[in-house]
Amino acid sequence: MSGSTSGHPGHPGISRRGFIAGTGSLLGAAALAGRVPAARAEAAPAAALLVSGARLPVLVIGTGYGGSVAALRLAQAGVDVHMVEMGMAWDTPGPDGKVFCNTLEPDHRSYWLRTRTKAPLNYFLGLPIDRDIPRHTGILDAEEFGGITVYQGRGVGGGSLVNGGMAVTPRRENFGAVLPSVDPAEMYGVYYPRANAELGVGTVDPDWFDSTECYRYARVGRKHAQRSGFPFVFVPDVYDWDHMEREAAGTAPKSALAGEILYGNNHGKKSLQQTYLARARATGRVSVSPLHRVVSVAPAGGGGYTVVAEQLDTGGAVTATKTVTADRVFFAAGSVGTSKLLVTLKATGALPLLNDEVGRGWGDNGNVMCGRANHLWDPTGRLQSAIPCAGIDNWAAGGAFAEVAPLPTGIETYASFYLTITANPHRARFSWNAAAGRVELDWRTAWKQPSIDMARTIFDRINAKEGTIYRTDLFGVYKIWGDHLTYHPLGGAVLGRATDHYGRLTAYPGLYVIDGALIPGNTTVNPFVTITALAERNIEKIIATDL
């Protein structure tokens, strides 16, 4: 059978009781962190929303990978943690009985406060596929800056709710370019293994891969890669592979095989709700306020920090403004969210002593998308698992690592589709536009050209070998490259520059960055395992020395 490792496979919508019942896993997890959790008779009350005037030991902004690691480890060390999340809880089924909507049928649950979808792949056969939707605090944010659209997850679980679950540890020889100031021995010896175990990372069973219809598209990808002499690798994922095999056998409810991915998976995916966050909440020391957006952090008169958060309704309107005091604040709002907050707080005088590195060093992980048109005798299959499981590694020779991605349309497309991660050298900066009252990013669309050139080191050769061409109907009319977007924002508060070597904002004791903002723009592979492992490293140090 497939190789799912530890973790808590389950379903979104797991009940609070489920979180509490999961306490048995706590000791194992605590042992990993080298700490024993303080005993607690009861879990926190279910609805412990932020209350104005409260004094909190720790407030975490955001519930993605960095925030979830911080919350779990602090709670295990005996510290009460309150997590503030601007997105929804995603624990309640909608009118169709499902928590998440399908990729092919986007409804109000799909996008963050938009009246029209903004699909990453926005054309098909040259026709636009976006459609009108009711404005709602949906799960996927397509945040638009001047030269790039940055896709991000919104809700309790952050990006883990919407991502493909591809859980990739960078090759060790590339690590120096990923986090130059971090000792690879400790990362590969301790923190990457810890992150992989906690996230529940596993790999598809190669025998099943070879026989199942739902990975025909990936086998076509393998054949083409290998015939052109490229290394083809299986890519680990946090999807429960046993569940997927049961989906294919018709004995489990379908999620990956029903095209669910971009707007959430109703079954099978081990998002943070099933792993770190479940274990954090099982300590009884972690509470979460969904639909609360932090807008200010500033030193408080009597010590600690005054944090202001706006409570939102599902139409995005502010229904309350709450002010609390926290001894420590962890910025875990994601690369974009943390950068925007810090840049705003520095520029508007709330945290004026933040250094000039804040906002700098932002990259797109070199993301670029493309499709290839296959011959009619090379079908990629009507049934495609929405969870990618393989890639083409041309990093050393061409600076490109290409995921063989699905196009789960339900019809035969004769297309091979790829998201390529490249060694794009460009880095952008967030800055405060006082006149407009907003943070801007100076990325330029033309900066994708190196990514396109690197991706072409793979696909030009494959096309030449196979006698095939690029698809021109997926990103517009006669447009080959999906060069307007990224799924992998990284940087903006880079480790060792905006912060010290453990994420401390040293001008303000008790303020920390612990998310993708710390990583200087590229991880050579998909980023969340590195974000998680770095957070594990940093929080261990912070707990040992600062608390």
Q: Would you name the residues annotated as active-site residues?
A: 403, 488
d(CA 113, CA 88): 12
Tell me if 159 contacts ligand FAE by CB under 6 A.
yes
- C-beta closer to ligand FAE: residue 236 or 284: 236
Query: Which residue do the tokens 């969904």 mark?
Result: 290
Q: Which of 7, 37, 106, 164 binds ligand FAE (CB under 6 A)?
A: 164
**CB closer to ligand FAE, 21 vs 233:** 233
Binding mask 213-252 for ligand FAE (x = CB under 6 A): ----------------------------------------
Decide if residue 447 touches ligand FAE (CB under 6 A): no
**Contact yes or no for 248/257 (Cβ under 8 A):** yes
Amino acid identity of residue 423, one-letter, is A
- Rounded CA gap, 278 and 386, in Å? 25
CB neighbours of 436 closer than 8 A, spacing ≥ 6?
none
Between 144 and 412, name the residue whose CB sits nearer to ligand FAE: 144
Q: Which of 9, 22, 37, 64 binds ligand FAE (CB under 6 A)?
A: 64
DSSP 50-97: --TT-EEEEEEE--SHHHHHHHHHHHHTT--EEEE-SS----S--TTS
Pair 194, 536: CB distance under 8 Å: yes
In terms of CB distance, is 220 or 309 closer to ligand FAE? Answer: 309
Write the CA distances from 446 to 363, 398, 450, 452, integer angstroms: 14, 19, 9, 10
Task: Give the three-class secondary structure for 423.
Answer: coil
Interaction between residue 527 and ligand FAE (CB under 6 A): yes
Q: What is the DSSP letter of 524?
A: S
Cβ contacts of 207 within 8 Å, gap of 6 or more: none
Residue selected from 191, 331, 443, 528 as contacting ligand FAE according to rule CB under 6 A: 528
Q: Which of 30, 77, 86, 389 binds ligand FAE (CB under 6 A)?
A: 86
E strand or H helix that includes residue 465? helix 449-466
As given in the structure block, the two tokens for residue 17 are: 């009781």
Cβ-based neighbour number of residue 334 at 10 Å: 29
Q: Is 413 in the site for ligand FAE (CB under 6 A)?
A: no
Q: Minimum CB separation from ligand FAE for residue 33, in Å?
A: 18
Query: How many chain residues touch ligand FAE (CB under 6 A)?
Result: 39
- Closest separation between CB of residue 69 and ligand FAE, Å? 8
Any contact of residue 487 with ligand FAE (CB under 6 A)? yes
Which range, of 49-57, 79-87, 316-324, 495-503, touches ligand FAE by CB under 6 A?
Answer: 79-87
To the nearest whole angstrom, how small is the minimum distance from the Cβ of residue 229 to ligand FAE? 26
**What is the C-alpha separation between 139 and 161, in angstroms, rounded?**
8
Dihedral sign, Cα of residue 283, residue 309, residue 66, residue 513: negative
- Taking CB under 6 A as the binding criterion, the range among 329-337, 422-430, 443-451, 456-464 that sits at the site for ligand FAE is 329-337
Collect all residues with Cβ–Cβ distance below 8 Å to 194 and sequence separation of at least 6. 32, 533, 536
**If binding is defined by CB under 6 A, does position 494 make contact with ligand FAE?**
no
Closer by beta carbon to ligand FAE, 174 or else 463: 174
The smaller minimum CB distance to ligand FAE, of residues 333 and 343, is found at 333
- Count of positions (residues) in the chain: 547
Query: Does residue 62 interact with ligand FAE by CB under 6 A?
Result: yes
* Of 22, 66, 264, 363, the one binding ligand FAE by CB under 6 A: 66
Indicate the SS3 state at residue 341.
helix
Residue with Cβ nearer ligand FAE (291 or 414): 291
**From CA 421, how far away is CA 449, in angstroms rounded?**
13
C-alpha span between 349 and 298 (Å, rounded): 9
- How far apart CA 217 and CA 223 sit, in angstroms, is 10
Q: Evaluate whether 277 touches 68 at the Cβ level (below 8 Å).
A: yes
Q: Contact region for ligand FAE (CB under 6 A) — 88-96, 212-220, 312-320, 333-341?
A: 333-341
Residues 176 to 205 in contact with ligand FAE, rule: CB under 6 A? none
Give whichever of 40 and 497 is closer to ligand FAE, judged by the CB atom. 497
- Residue 488 interacts with ligand FAE (CB under 6 A): yes or no: yes
- Can residue 333 be called a binding residue for ligand FAE (CB under 6 A)? yes
Residues 269 to 308: which contact ligand FAE by CB under 6 A? 293-294
Q: Which listed residue (43, 75, 258, 262) binds ligand FAE by CB under 6 A?
A: 262
Contacts 24+ apart (CB under 8 A), 436-444: 439/339, 439/340, 439/343, 439/344, 439/359, 440/145, 440/146, 441/145, 441/146, 441/147, 441/148, 441/362, 442/146, 442/147, 443/145, 443/146, 443/147, 443/148, 443/362, 443/364, 444/146, 444/147
Q: Is 417 in the site for ligand FAE (CB under 6 A)?
A: no
Degrees to nearest 5, angle at CA 296 with 111 and 75? 80
Residue closer to ligand FAE by CB (options 22, 64) is 64
335 near ligand FAE, judged by CB under 6 A: yes
Q: How far is the CB of 431 from ligand FAE (least distance, A)?
A: 18
Which listed residue (221, 334, 371, 398) binds ligand FAE by CB under 6 A?
334
Smallest gap from Cβ 195 to ligand FAE, in A, equals: 11
Q: Applying CB under 6 A, which residues contact ligand FAE?
A: 61-66, 84-87, 151-155, 158-159, 162-166, 262, 293-294, 332-335, 337, 341, 487-488, 515-516, 526-528, 531
